[in-house]
A = this chain, B = another copy of it.
């Protein structure tokens, strides 16, 4: 391993000088600088981040905590976060929490142990006390509490929009798939949808689901059509379930959107690939990730944060599982 001492020796200067040229601060004579640069080049030296981090008591690492990278919504978030952060020279320490308090705490702890300069968390236990003890800047992503900066999409409005769309396009017996109760955004959407449905002249039923997993999605879809066979409009808890609903509807010979309309949530990439393509409420996941990263960076830089909770707009993406016009 090449260290700063090797460089100093080779350049015939002290380590202090090398450090100065590395960090580009303090006075360094023009030709001294040149000598040092040359030595760095020749030795192919790059500074040890760990030593730097130890002294400065902060690294260039950011902790990112996700519920489950395997759920297609989160890679989008993660990608947005990474793209934005890496432009500023930060790197990602990643953890999946599986919505498991213990795992979550473990990761938060390693983040701290590794001197991360900031944390972005998209998990459910944000109200858990450990978050209040975190001293490094923290941004919640796709979640909210009253205590922390956050970037999230307007779930309530999303739910309303979904319901309104189905109603306007003529569904009269709507079944709403309620997402996992412990996930806040899922509750918001549900609430929004219920608001809209309650004040409209339509029948509606609720089917509660307990997960977003691929394995179970088809199960929920099946249950949906078994329990409510005359459903002519489905508000899915997310696109995965929405796509499963398409599957199940077609399997039962129902025509989409003539007999059943289906609307999803998230607008994950694959919702464009289903047949028929899935109408859905878009959350700008990638942009949310970027936005969260941006917010975190300003906090890290101790610049004034004009807005510490950023609500991103949701948007109706009309595709082929709802009727035209």
Could you list which residues of chain A lie within 8 angstroms of chain B, going by C-beta atoms?
1, 46-51, 53-54, 57, 59, 61, 64, 68-70, 72, 74-76, 78-79, 82, 86, 91-96, 107, 109-110, 112-115, 214-215, 217-218, 240, 243-244, 246-247, 250-251, 269-270, 272-275, 277
Q: Report which of B91, B247, B251, B270 forms a contact with A93, defined as CB distance below 8 A.
A: B91
Task: Give the chain B neighbours of A74 by CB distance below 8 A.
Answer: 75
In the bound assembly, the distance between CA atoms of A49 and B50 in angstroms comes to: 9
With both chains docked as a complex, state the minimum distance between the C-beta of A250 and any C-beta of chain B, in angstroms.
5
With both chains docked as a complex, state the minimum distance between the C-beta of A101 and any C-beta of chain B, in angstroms.
15
Q: A243-B270, A270-B214 are in contact. Are A115 and B275 (CB under 8 A)?
A: no
Task: Give the chain B neighbours of A78 by CB distance below 8 A.
Answer: 69, 94
Q: Report which of B47, B70, B269 forms a contact with A76, defined as CB distance below 8 A.
A: B70
Question: Is there contact, CB below 8 Å, between A92 and B95?
Answer: yes
Question: Is there contact, CB below 8 Å, between A1 and B57?
Answer: yes
In the complex, the chain B residue whose C-beta lies closest to that of A109 is: B46
With both chains docked as a complex, state the minimum distance between the C-beta of A15 and any C-beta of chain B, in angstroms.
16
Question: Is there contact, CB below 8 Å, between B46 and A113?
Answer: yes
Task: Give the chain B neighbours of A53 by CB distance below 8 A.
Answer: 50
